[in-house]
Amino acid sequence: MPIPGLHARLGGVRFRHEHQVRRAVRAAFERHRARIAAALPAAEVEHIGATAVPGTLTKGDLDLLVRVPRSEFAAAVANLESLYEVNQPENWNEGFASFRELPKREVPVGVQLVVSGGIDDRMLISWRDRLLNDPELLTRYNDFKRRHTDVAADAYIEAKAEFIESVLGGGIGGSGGPD
């Protein structure tokens, strides 16, 4: 008999269909885009990750890509640190930083800050666009996620990074990429 909540304590990942969270994710996107635009007027904010792609399986979180010119990257890091929690600093580099917000009753948010046109920017956009435009890849990715249901979060992140790298042929800022 399964123990209620055990997967959460152990960090196992669970997925749902993107359409089940679409409305809440779109509302969260608009709120966070406005929040970031107020702090970083020169930034471009894009929706990436599984919830940006109709038909995907998702953990139900919102992934944002925040793109800034190289000359504004350090200031953008400081601004986002005042708005969000630092996430995975071990993966940061001169053109990539990540943040998160894990509200109790709202959509969890991951923010990937990149230098516009940098390798991390190109990889994250390429991954989203490939999923949007390649139905066979989307099917493979959903199958991958089904196979990783209830896997520990760290193991899932590592396996996902390998899967994405196998498709794109390179790393994504060490982050494992958006969901």
What pLDDT, on a 0 to 100 scale, did the predictor assign at position 83?
A: 97
What pLDDT, on a 0 to 100 scale, did the predictor assign at position 146?
A: 96
- State what percent of residues in the chain have pLDDT above 70: 88
- Residue 84 is classified by DSSP as S
Q: Which residues pair with 99 in a beta bridge?
A: 86, 111
What pLDDT, on a 0 to 100 scale, did the predictor assign at position 169?
A: 84
Domains, the chain, ranges and CATH?
Answer: 13-168 (3.30.460.10)
pLDDT tens, position by position, 91-128: 999 999 999 999 888 999 999 999 999 999 999 999 99
Half-sphere exposure of 138 (CA within 13 A, CB side): 20
Mean pLDDT of the chain: 90
Q: Is the pLDDT of residue 8 over 60?
A: no
The strands making up 85-87's β-sheet, listed across from edge to edge, are 44-48, 62-68, 109-115, 96-101, 85-87
Contact partners, residue 21, CB within 8 Å, separation at least 6 = 51, 58, 60, 107
8 A C-beta contact, residue 152 and residue 103: no
Going by pLDDT thresholds of 50, 70 and 90, the confidence category of residue 178 is: low
What pLDDT, on a 0 to 100 scale, did the predictor assign at position 89?
A: 96
68 or 174: which leads in pLDDT: 68
